[in-house]
Structure 1
Amino acid sequence: MQQLNLLGSAPTVRCRMEDSKEQPKEAKLWGGRFEKGVTPAVEKFGQSVSYDRKLYKHDLMGSRAHASMLAKQGIITVQDRDAILNGIDEIEKRIDDGKFNWRADREDVHMNVEAALIELVGEPAKKLHTARSRNDQVVTDVRLWCRDAINDIVQRIKYLQVSLVQLARENEGLVVPGYTHLQRAQPLLLQHLLLAFVEMLERDASRLLDCQARLNFSPLGACALAGTGLPIDRHNTAEALGFTEPMRNSVDAVADRDFLIELLGANSIIAIHLSRLAEEWVLWASEEFGFLTPSDAVSTGSSIMPQKKNPDPMELVRGKSARVIGDLTTVLVLCKGLPMAYNRDLQEDKEPLFDSVETINTVLDVTAEFAQNVVFNKDRISKSLPAGHLDATTLADYLVYKGIPFRTSHDIVGKAVAIAVSKRIELKDLSLEEFLRINPVFEEDVYTFLGVENSIAKFRSYGSTGAEPVAEQMKFWISKLGM
């Protein structure tokens, strides 16, 4: 299977970060009412450009839309707009080429871009921030970034789904023990078990797209919190940026991060699903199970024990779920009890956001790669199937066919299991005479319900583990995923 080379949700920002001590002091863009500058410790503590510069593409998108709208509304001239747009293009090129000087004393991505724009084009650039605050600017950037990030994650989910369906296709007909409480329960087709994770991932993708639809509303023009008296057109900028429409309430627009929490929540559910898959495969790779063997390409060894072959990628997938859940918890606690409207606390939402998205993208990619490099040990699995009386429930169904109430059937089969356990044999090895001593309803046809192969053949309900229902599931997913 061809490996996808998917981009992250934002380009790598190749640049140099200039320490404020190396720069001549300059007036802050907000410094008009201040007589003294901040201390170096406060300046270092308050900067966010070391990580929020990841938003630069989306920040420049927002500024282009805003400048164009200001000109359309007659708030700035067309000449000023053109100067601003040309300057933005030059700044973007410098950032892309790694030639932009990010300065910590300019605090964040917005101030760095605006100050550089003023240096480039002069007075026209000072008009760009008309009817805009960093409060609405940053949340516009973050919504745009999240919108793109969701598309990336959904692509990776689909790729993992394809990998799992392909793995299922390669193991058609393989019966494995199914577990509840980590105890032998009923037989399953391996395809059925793998498709269970495909279904979970489909809901994960749907959840992300639902989140994307809810976050796709524009805060731009909400300004600090109250909007503006200038004749701006928020519908214009919303449309230019691909938003559904502007947010109705300017306070809500700048104050809340529920959309971000929702994305981190969706990522956490993905992480939990992948952690469960990882746990399954780590167990199955153990000597005690021996159901699967990962290739050398996705295994590691021990620094002291020469014989070891560890499924480390899956252990890390399992472990990194804690990190993704931690990112969600960080933002939940961050937003708890904040007074309205905007507060600087919200600067702290970005690092957990970026970390969650980067981590979930990585674990999706690695899980897909692991799925492409694993072999199920059919002989070992087959030899394990007799243990645990996996066909007991099918035997109870047999008695239901004979007209016995299920609860009574359950009790009868329990007695049969007890005899088989005492003799250390399978249910199918009990004689008809032994069955008849338990209940006279048994006939010779009981043996068509016993043994895992016969048991699997009896499953026929929609979505069950029978050959026909699973074939229908496979057909559905192969078509849906375009395989």
Structure 2
Amino acid sequence: MTQHTDRLWGGRFKTGPAPALTALSRSDPSFFRLAPYDLAGSRAHAQELRRAEILSAAELQQLLDEMDRLDAQFRAGEVGPLLQDEDVHTFLERELTQRLGATGGKLRAGRSRNDQAANDLRLFLRDKARTLTQAVIDLQNALIEQANAHIGSVSAGFTHLQPAQPVVFAHHLLAHAQSIYRDIDRLLDWDRRSARSPLGAAALAGSAICRRPELSAVELGYDGPCENSIDAVASRDHVAEFVFVTSMLAVNLSRLSEEVILWTSRQFGWVVLDDGYATGSSIMPQKKNSDIAELTRGKAGRLIGNLSGLLATLKSLPLAYNRDLAEDKIAAFDCIDTLELVLPAMAGMIRTMRVNVDEMRRQAPLGFTLATEVADWLALRGVPFSEAHEITGALVRVCEEQGIELSEVSVATLAQVDARLEPAVLAHVTLDAAVAARSGYGGTAPARVREQIERLQGALAAQLAWATSYGGPTC
């Protein structure tokens, strides 16, 4: 007679595993966060076992009730895995078997840890995609609040980190909001591809017992089951794609952070951070540091590393399941945990920062940012742009020699550079005229920026509706 073990395997082995194997094989403690999702999958699987007549109606109800109790106890911290529990599946089966005896042991029929593990992580990521979206939208709203306050605030726009052309500061903030919007749009697109249930794939060939995976898929909020049972347990491209999206988001947050660091420097002086979202120095009493931005910028590299590591793990794996795939959770969990720390801090920092409008405007024309206005004015009067460019360049050179800005140039100097530089051009060489002239769709003219804000708010409302209308399990 075989001896019962709490492990989910071992009947064909004469001895137990070596301590070194046990230590290596045991799940990372962070993996046990998947318990509520494993229980959600087990509820759907129990319904399959009832359809297969492996469970009676009474046994099904007994299992469902006990899983609900176990779920609530785990979430409340009243029950947790023991050291001998190899993974979340072992932990939960041990608990159910101890509580229900043989009925708890019936739950394993028709499934494998392979499809369980794939299902648990997929459910977790679909849930987290929505909670991350809500956190990102809070940051987006902070950017929009600042943008609304600075539709008329003029600043220098940059290329190559050199002053280029004037823009309204709202337009610059919204450039960050637009890139971050696309990150969430990628999550929505990712979710469309990931809304397929691996349950019923079992080890790799499908289940001879659970033959209606389309029903359990609906119960778990999926669009349907995976098309191929081997692919269902072997593929982790959906995890790699999720990690890519979070890494891209981190990169975009890092770019915003870098600019906040610049804006708050003494050299720029554009922005002052709220005391609650800045730190000081242990030796220099005068310092006020943008640590949130710096930490965010640093963590972007970490998320990029997660993506690189996961892709390297996946690149040579034969079909179907291999234990290497346990690394998928390390990468995904770290990305999520990192963003759940970063996003609220970034939102608070952006929402509470104070913009020095006067200093931004003072700096906006410096470095001849209005030069393009002169070239455009000439081009609109029939001067070929190649000539207009040369004429304007010559005017800039004269201004440099005289130590003045374009707005300070005299009528006589204009005529000296080129007779086609009539006095009327001076009315166009102002900050307000320059931003107002960029009135095409997506331009920096205040009217266009107001429209951009309205469109973005509508798009964010649609993203929020997606994030809050999820029909799958949450934790």
Fold-level similarity (TM above 0.5) = yes
Q: Is the aligned partner of 1:447 residue 2:406?
A: no
SS of corresponding position for 1:106: coil
Residue of 336, 341, 346 corresponding to 1:357:
336
Residue 289 (structure 1) aligns with:
268
Residue 67 (structure 2) aligns with:
88
Q: 1:369 to 1:351 in 2, by over 3 A?
A: same
SS of corresponding position for 2:156: strand
Q: Is the aligned partner of 1:382 residue 2:353?
A: no
SS of corresponding position for 1:188: strand
Shift of 1:477: 3.2
Residue of 92, 107, 125 corresponding to 1:128:
107
Q: 1:287 to 1:231 in 2, by over 3 A?
A: closer
Q: 1:49 to 1:413 in 2, by over 3 A?
A: closer
Shift of 1:354: 0.9
Residue of 192, 217, 220 corresponding to 2:199:
220
Where does 1:146-185 land on structure 2 (aligned, <5 Å)? Answer: 146-185=125-164
Identity of matched residues, %: 38
Q: Which amino acid aligns with 1:408?
A: E
Contact kept? 1:400, 1:406, Cα under 8 Å? yes
Shift of 1:334: 1.3
Equivalent-residue separation in structure 1 for 2:307 and 2:237 (angstroms): 11
Equivalent-residue separation in structure 2 for 1:254 and 1:479 (angstroms): 38
Shift of 1:440: 2.1
Equivalent-residue separation in structure 1 for 2:59 and 2:250 (angstroms): 48
Contact kept? 1:460, 1:466, Cα under 8 Å? yes
Q: Does 315-324 or 373-382 show the bigger shift?
A: 373-382
Q: 1:231 to 1:189 in 2, by over 3 A?
A: closer
Residue of 317, 326, 334 corresponding to 1:347:
326
Residue 58 (structure 1) aligns with:
37
Contact kept? 1:175, 1:382, Cα under 8 Å? yes
Contact kept? 2:151, 2:446, Cα under 8 Å? no
Shift of 1:455: 1.6
Q: Is the aligned partner of 1:239 residue 2:218?
A: yes
Q: Does 276-285 or 40-49 show the bigger shift?
A: 40-49
Equivalent-residue separation in structure 2 for 1:42 and 1:239 (angstroms): 38
Equivalent-residue separation in structure 1 for 2:71 and 2:28 (angstroms): 16
Q: Which amino acid aligns with 1:89?
A: D
Q: Does 184-193 or 456-465 show the bigger shift?
A: 456-465
Equivalent-residue separation in structure 2 for 1:93 and 1:401 (angstroms): 71
Backbone CA RMSD of aligned residues: 1.6
Q: Is the aligned partner of 1:414 residue 2:355?
A: no
Give the TM-score normalised by structure 2: 0.93
Q: Which amino acid aligns with 2:7?
A: K
Q: Deviations over 1:320-379 (max 9, x none)?
A: 111111111221111110111101111121122111011112222111100122111122
Q: Does 123-132 or 267-276 show the bigger shift?
A: 123-132
Equivalent-residue separation in structure 2 for 1:456 and 1:36 (angstroms): 78
Residue 103 (structure 1) aligns with:
82
Q: 1:460 to 1:97 in 2, by over 3 A?
A: closer
Residue of 331, 350, 358 corresponding to 1:371:
350
Structure 1 runs not aligned, ≥5 long:
1-24
Q: Which amino acid aligns with 1:471?
A: R
Contact kept? 2:234, 2:321, Cα under 8 Å? yes
More relative contact order, 1 or 2 (CA 8 Å, 6+ apart): 2
Q: Is the aligned partner of 1:467 residue 2:446?
A: yes
Equivalent-residue separation in structure 1 for 2:166 and 2:362 (angstroms): 13
Contact kept? 2:399, 2:405, Cα under 8 Å? yes
Q: 1:470 to 1:101 in 2, by over 3 A?
A: closer
Shift of 1:29: 2.6
Residue 165 (structure 2) aligns with:
186
Equivalent-residue separation in structure 2 for 1:230 and 1:297 (angstroms): 58
Q: Which amino acid aligns with 2:404?
A: I
Q: Which amino acid aligns with 1:67?
A: A
